Amino acid sequence: MPATFFALPGNEALAGSLAAAHGAEPARYEMRQFPDGEFYIRIEEPPDDKPVYLVCTLDRPTDKILPLMLLGATARDLGARAVGLICPYLPYMRQDKRFHIGEGVTSRYFAAMLGRSFDSLLTIDPHLHRYKALSEVYDIPATALHAAPLLAGWIRDNVRNPVLVGPDSESAQWVAAVAKLAGTPWIVLEKTRRGDRDVSVSVPDVEKWASRTPVLVDDIISTARTMIETVGHLQDAGLAPPVCVGVHALFAGSAYDDLQRTGVARVATCNTVIHPSNAIDVTGLLVDALKRHEGAKAAS
């Protein structure tokens, strides 16, 4: 039974590619808000025992999560065999421990919430730091794909004589993987975060890399303070203007402008979150993974 794909607003292109790879078009449905703000949902063709996938990246999740869950519930109620979530950016992964007394470990609550609505989860480079795998926090089958080969390919094609720079120890896993694939040297800096927007970074032996183009690599760019601090240190050390490469372009508030104003050579991100800096396309990664998944199910 072929899968049916639903695009949540803003995810039409990706859902279109996923559906096309399965010889179909995204499912048609109506979703609007009543005058009081509550959602109205109507699926045109009931899924009738088909597997259903909802396609929705979850940057700025607060406004997205309720319609997503209501659409999933509607599909299930109308007979979907299973309801999976394809979510290129998975939020709430950074709240992975109680840093201070009384704080909520919201990664766990968010995972429990999604687990009640969906039967499976497919995402790209979730922020795995203290959790080593999604299965430590998600009870449903959850697959994490990796953009590292795409990042490495983009760097190989676009940057001459690079040295990859990770802004902190958390980024070592990304940087090492990307550097290995790109065949470039890499270094990781030391970061101290004193508050949401108060970050300092130190650079070991940076002069050693003077002849190379620094390429900052991180999984998430949110306030961009981590990258901005790093750019400042690299500039102080006399290195060439860096290229900034991130997987998830969250860019809160003026972060993108702030980063560009530092004089970076270029900012390039993946389209897990749609943003003007997108230069690296993850569509093929998701299409291939889903084909494998559906193929494996059909064979079993």
Is residue 222 a contact residue for ligand R5P (CB under 6 A)?
Answer: yes
Among 75, 224, 245, 290, binds ligand R5P (CB under 6 A): 224
Q: Least distance from C-beta 222 to ligand R5P, angstroms?
A: 3
Is residue 270 a contact residue for ligand R5P (CB under 6 A)?
Answer: no
Residues 6+ apart with CB under 8 A from 229: 167, 191, 199, 200, 201
Is residue 164 a contact residue for ligand R5P (CB under 6 A)?
Answer: no
Q: Taking Cα atoms as reference points, which of 171, 223, 215, 217 lies closest to residue 199?
A: 223
CA 89 to chain centroid, in Å, comes to 3
Q: Taking Cα atoms as reference points, which of 247, 199, 193, 244 lies closest to residue 219?
A: 247
Q: Least distance from C-beta 140 to ligand R5P, angstroms?
A: 24
Q: Least distance from C-beta 104 to ligand R5P, angstroms?
A: 17
- Measuring CA to CA, how many Å separate 99 from each of 130, 182, 200, 238, 291? 12, 36, 19, 37, 40
Distance CA 263, CA 242 (A): 8
Q: Least distance from C-beta 221 to ligand R5P, angstroms?
A: 5
Answer yes or no: are the C-beta atoms of 250 and 219 closer than 8 Å: no
Kind of pairing, strands 29-33 and 39-43? antiparallel
C-beta closer to ligand R5P: residue 117 or 222 = 222
Is residue 223 a contact residue for ligand R5P (CB under 6 A)?
Answer: yes
Q: Least distance from C-beta 249 to ligand R5P, angstroms?
A: 10
Is residue 68 a contact residue for ligand R5P (CB under 6 A)?
Answer: no
Among 11, 107, 117, 171, binds ligand R5P (CB under 6 A): 171
Among 50, 64, 225, 275, binds ligand R5P (CB under 6 A): 225
- Judged by CB under 6 A, the stretch of 110-118, 215-223, 265-273, 284-292 that binds ligand R5P is 215-223
Say whether 250 sits in a helix, a strand or coil.
coil
Instruction: Give the contact letters, 74-103, x = binds to ligand R5P (CB under 6 A), - = no.
Output: --------------------x---------
Residue-wise DSSP of 168-196: SGGGHHHHHHHHHHHT--EEE-EEEEEET
C-beta closer to ligand R5P: residue 221 or 290 = 221
Among 218, 231, 245, 290, binds ligand R5P (CB under 6 A): 218
Binding to ligand R5P in span 9-48, by CB under 6 A: none
- Judged by CB under 6 A, the stretch of 11-19, 42-50, 168-176, 264-272 that binds ligand R5P is 168-176
Binding to ligand R5P in span 96-155, by CB under 6 A: 127
Kind of pairing, strands 190-195 and 198-202? antiparallel
* Overall size of the chain counted in residues: 300
Q: Least distance from C-beta 194 to ligand R5P, angstroms?
A: 12
Please state the three-class secondary structure of 99-164 as a single string.
Answer: CCCCCCCHHHHHHHHHHHHCCEEEEECCCCCCCCCHHHCCCCCEEEECCHHHHHHHHHHHCCCEEE
Among 18, 56, 201, 221, binds ligand R5P (CB under 6 A): 221
Q: How far apart are the first and last CA of the chain?
A: 13
C-beta closer to ligand R5P: residue 33 or 202 = 202
Tell me which amino acid residue 118 is: F
Residues of this chain that interact with ligand R5P (CB under 6 A) are: 94, 127, 167-168, 170-171, 199, 218-226
